[in-house]
Amino acid sequence: MIVSAVSVLCAGLPAEAQGGKPEVAENLIITAVEHYDDRQFPEAASILENVVREYPENDAAHFYLGLSEFCMDNVEKAESELEKAVAIDSSNFWYRYRLAMVYSAAGKEELTLSMFEKMVKDFPDRYDLYYTMVDLYQRQGQQEKALETLSQIETVFGTSDMTVLARFDLLRKMGREEEGYECLEDFNRKYSSVQVLSLLGDRQLSMYNDSLALVLYNEALDLDSSYAPAMLGKAETYRIARDYNSYFKVLHEFVADDNIAPEGKCGYLGALVRSADKLFFRSFGSQMDSLMALCSGKYPRDSSVATMTGAYYYSKGDTEKARECFRKNMENWPESLSAAASYVEILAYSGDWKALVDEAFKASSRFPGETGFLEYASLGEYNLGNYDKVIPICEKIIAASPEDSTTLLNAYTTMGDMYYKTGERKKAFRSYDSALSINPDYLPVLNNYAYFLSVEKKQLKKAYAMSKKTVEKEPDNSTYLDTFGWILYLQGRAVEAKPFFKNAVMLYGGKKSPVILDHYAEVLFALKEYDLAFLYWNQAKAINNGEIEDLDSRISLRKSQMKKDER
């Protein structure tokens, strides 16, 4: 693989690359190299410019000047200076290697490859050059040359698991997977490699040859008992065969193994949790609990383990244990933003609004630049019904984020909703105006603003214009259809309103809302479609939980009105 050009070029030079030069120039170069090693590239370049002006044949000065220029993003100048160094001393491996890196950084892949091809001929014992060439050939789409280079490596240095794995990977990319597996099998007949055995085990498992897969995984584990891919392959073999006792036994060994990093354990167990369903948790809850307890016991302060176990308990439905995992993680890492955010989020998911408010404010004091915690505090107060407390939180958010348009938009929107709920209608509309000054097409504000105007029966033309935008943008949103239809009804346009309500109720889920059903019934009543109107009023009545306070009395009133009309 070709390494990062920046990391190579801005690093120090191996001692073998540095040779003796005329004494005057050498002292200056030593000083420049000290600046270069301290990453003081302009100072190094300034000294070296003087050296190459006085001593134009000094290859070391051109070389370090090229490196310094590259580290200052002057790629063209770097290329020129390194080419001069190579022209003066083409036998210096590092001059040519660093020039190749500059070519690579400049996107000149043909020049890079040409340089490496020549270097392989001149320095045939440099193992790393061949693999860099393999990578370069692949990047240029010259897959056959990449395969030939792998053969060269095997001719010069002998076959190894590194070469056969590189060949296998390359053949798979070329669509010659069977040939790749043949290479692995041929290698496995002659040598022992834990990686090769595991890959062959994976293949047999994919072909449902469970017994042979187990043999290969066990051979791999005989070579390295802590090789995670083989352990997990073995576990998967048992899982597919529905031998869950053996499956969890292997997973227990996997989690208990001190030679496997906790990140790898979290990766597998986390994926298992995400893919599991409720039946899996019911059937194997005790085994999973044991794995989680073992993992968290081995790594009590590891944040990734705490997050993974917390996610497990939440998926399982054990909210208390999930919260405890995230709480301990936050306490272990009080300076961690992600740990604090995870705990606040789990409180929100579990609906513990009082705890959410308390912890969100605590987190906000620790991380004053993160307005997201204030937003969570706002959510908690809203769900507690403390609408008047939400407003000052929004004001804090606005003061903390004067340039963040998205945050401001959300804050003004929330303030508008809360002001309306607390009866301060003028302030509500002013907040909505502030939100629309940021984004005139923000649909939630347009809808709420229009609906509240319709409730007030004021500025219906303005309400109509705003609501019309919402149904044009989202014609399948039952809430927006209800608002627009209701404004039409209030304007005396019941015939036009009816299809909007019909779509909202029949197509887009509006039948779950007593308000939408009530509005539709009013429209139908106005059109003298009495049977259908009372059908929808009865449906609204059945699901009304105090949302419409006067629903029963109004239905009675409409019945008496209908009787008068029928007489």
DSSP 309-357: HHHHHHHHT-HHHHHHHHHHHHHH-TT-HHHHHHHHHHHHHHT-HHHHH
What is the mean pLDDT of the segment spanning 7-19?
48
Per DSSP, the three-state class of 92 is: coil
Which of 161, 172, 218, 233 lies closest to 195, judged by CA?
161
The domain locations on the chain are 192-260, 279-350
Angstrom distance (rounded) from CA 418 to CA 424: 9
Q: Which residue type does 266 have?
A: C
204 pLDDT more than 70? yes
How does pLDDT run across 128-157, given as a tens digit for each residue? 888 888 888 888 889 999 999 899 888 888
- Topology of domain 279-350 in CATH is 1.25.40
CB contact at 8 A, 398 and 434: no
Do 192-260 and 279-350 have matching folds? yes
For residue 395, which of 418, 370, 412 has the smallest C-alpha distance? Answer: 412
Give the pLDDT score at 22: 62
Amino acid at 44: A
pLDDT at position 566: 65
Summary mean pLDDT of the chain: 92
Q: Could you read off the pLDDT of 320-345 as tens digits, one per residue?
A: 999 999 999 999 999 999 999 999 99
| Cα–Cα distance measured from residue 236 to residue 79, given in angstroms and rounded to the nearest whole number | 52
- What pLDDT digit, counting tens, does each position of 39-91 carry? 999 999 999 999 999 999 999 999 999 999 999 999 999 999 999 999 999 99
> Which architecture, in CATH terms, is 192-260?
Alpha Horseshoe (1.25)
Provide the pLDDT for residue 438: 97
Query: Residue 19's pLDDT is what?
Result: 45
Query: Is the pLDDT assigned to residue 384 strictly greater than 50?
Result: yes
Q: Is the pLDDT of residue 1 over 60?
A: no
Mean pLDDT of 192-220: 95
Q: Regarding predicted confidence, which is higher, 253 or 114?
A: 253
- pTM beyond 0.85, yes or no: no
Alpha carbon distance, N-terminus to C-terminus of the chain: 91
Please, are residues 434 and 426 in contact by the beta-carbon 8 Å criterion?
Answer: no
Q: Using one digit for the tens of pLDDT, what is the confidence trace for 407-466?
A: 999 999 999 999 999 999 999 999 999 999 999 999 999 999 999 999 999 999 999 999
Tens of pLDDT, residue by residue over 147-190, are 998 998 888 888 899 999 999 999 999 999 999 999 999 999 99
* pLDDT greater than 90 at residue 563: no
Euclidean distance between CA atoms 188 and 198, whole angstroms: 11
The label of the residue with tokens 């000083």 reads 31
Residues in Cβ contact with 187 at an 8 Å cutoff, skipping those fewer than 6 apart: 159, 161, 164, 193, 196
Chain-centroid distance of CA 122 in Å reads: 46
